[in-house]
Amino acid sequence: MVTVTDVAKKAGVSTSTVSRVLSDSGYASARTRSAVLSAAKALGYVPNAIARGLKTQKSGFIAFIMPEVIDPYFFATVARGVEEIANSNGFQILLGNNDDNQLKERNYIELMVASAIEGMIITPSVDSRTAYRILADRGIPIVFVDRVVGGFGADTVRSDDYRGAKLLVDHLASLGHRRVALVNGHSRTSVAMDRAAGFKNAVVHSGLDLDERLISWGPWVIEDAERRVNELVESGAEFSAIIAGNLYMAIGTLRALRRQGLRVPEDVALVSFNDLELAAEINPFLTVLSQPIYSLGRIAMGLLLDRINGKYSGEPRDVVLSPSLVVRESCGAKLKAFDRNLRARPDVVDAK
């Protein structure tokens, strides 16, 4: 391994001069400067960031921990946003995956602390407040992405799920639906809670029927959504539209409805959270709530940077990004009125 000492010898100067030249701090005559530079180049010298960090107490590392099990696409996109901003600010990303598992998350946090991270961006698992204390005690800033952790003051970036749920309900209401089911995520995530709240509020405000049996909770995956929708249909509950928690759950819903012999959107309208290029090609083309996923990552890293370099040190910030409705076909908005047959209320037909 080539070290400053090697470069110093070759350039005929001291190690401190080499350091000064290479890190652009302090004075150095043009002559020594070029001597050092060419010596470094000739030797293929790469400064050891680890050793530098030990001295400067700045590792240049930030941690990014995701619960990727749910939706690789979503978190890969967030990661890219984080990466872009981190990279252009000289930070490196230590990647972790908590598998939505408290123990794994805790282990990772300790590992990251040991690696002297300067900050952490995390989509928190179910509840690990105690683990976050490890960071807080050391003054290492945290930014939560996508999910809020109650009672723990830290910056947060997320989409406006409350408003998103409202948008979806209102859209369905405007199409004449009166009984809407919500295939929701895990009841212990803030995302699912917010959506349920927005959903109920909109249902009441629009004068639709509020029926708790139409709301189901569970893992954000295809299979569970499929099972729940099958049960819903078989229970005989009446509904004419379904809101799915993400694209995967929309697919589960689609599979269940197919199995039950129900067509979308003719028999049941379907809308979903989370957009993705592929949603535009799914059969039927999905009406979705589009969220600025990439921005989620970029903004999170931005907030973290502010904290790391002391540009901001005030109260926790809660950045809430607005989703937007993308109307395609699965909601039935583009069906001609006479083609539609709303199952629960076949008489309430509105061509919008």
Partner DNA sequence: GTGAAAGCGCTAACAT
Partner DNA sequence: ATGTTAGCGCTTTCAC
Contact partner at residue 77 from DNA, a copy of itself, none, CB < 5 to 8 Å by partner kind: a copy of itself
When asked if residue 184 is in the footprint of DNA (CB under 7 A), the reply is no
Kindly tell me which of 128 and 196 has the beta carbon lying closer to a copy of itself. Answer: 128
One of 10, 28, 91, 287 touching DNA (CB under 7 A):
28
Q: Where does this chain touch DNA (CB under 7 A) — which range of 13-21, 71-79, 243-251, 303-311?
A: 13-21
Rounded alpha-carbon distances, angstroms, from residue 97 to 105, 125, 195, 234, 284: 7, 10, 25, 37, 33
Residues 128-157 as x/- pattern, contact with a copy of itself by CB under 8 A:
------x--xx-------------------
Contact partner at residue 76 from a copy of itself, DNA, none, CB < 5 to 8 Å by partner kind: a copy of itself
Kindly tell me which of 25 and 313 has the beta carbon lying closer to DNA. Answer: 25
Give min distance, CB of 53 to a copy of itself, in A.
Answer: 6
Cα 105 from Cα 46, distance rounded (Å)? 33
Collapsed DSSP state (helix, strand, coil) of residue 271: strand
Cα 164 from Cα 347, distance rounded (Å)? 28
Residues 62-91 as x/- pattern, contact with a copy of itself by CB under 8 A:
--x---x---xx-xxx-xx--xx--x----
> What is the length of the chain?
352
Rounded alpha-carbon distances, angstroms, from residue 78 to 63, 88, 203, 220: 13, 16, 31, 18
Cα 246 from Cα 226, distance rounded (Å)? 13
Site for a copy of itself in 150-189 (CB under 8 A): none
Cα 326 from Cα 212, distance rounded (Å)? 27
Q: DSSP letters along 174-191, please?
A: HTT---EEEE---TTSHH
Residues 6 or more apart from 131 whose CB is under 8 A from it?
102, 105, 106, 109
When asked if residue 16 is in the footprint of DNA (CB under 7 A), the reply is yes
Q: Where does this chain touch DNA (CB under 7 A) — which range of 46-54, 212-220, 250-258, 326-334?
A: 46-54
Residues 6 or more apart from 234 whose CB is under 8 A from it?
260
Cα 183 from Cα 180, distance rounded (Å)? 10
When asked if residue 24 is in the footprint of a copy of itself (CB under 8 A), the reply is no
Q: Where does this chain touch DNA (CB under 7 A) — which range of 50-58, 207-215, 277-285, 297-305?
A: 50-58
Q: Where are the alpha helices (DSSP H) in 96-160?
A: 102-114, 129-137
Cα 273 from Cα 171, distance rounded (Å)? 13
Q: Which residue has the tokens 């680890």?
A: 50
One of 14, 53, 136, 292 touching a copy of itself (CB under 8 A):
53
Give min distance, CB of 33 to a copy of itself, in A.
Answer: 20
Kindly tell me which of 110 and 350 has the beta carbon lying closer to a copy of itself. Answer: 110
Contact partner at residue 270 from DNA, a copy of itself, none, CB < 5 to 8 Å by partner kind: none
Query: What are the φ and ψ backbone dihedral angles of 62, each rounded to 5 degrees?
Result: -125, 155
Q: In the complex, which residues of this chain contact DNA (CB under 7 A)?
A: 1, 3-5, 12-20, 22-23, 25-29, 31-33, 45, 47-48, 51-52, 54-57
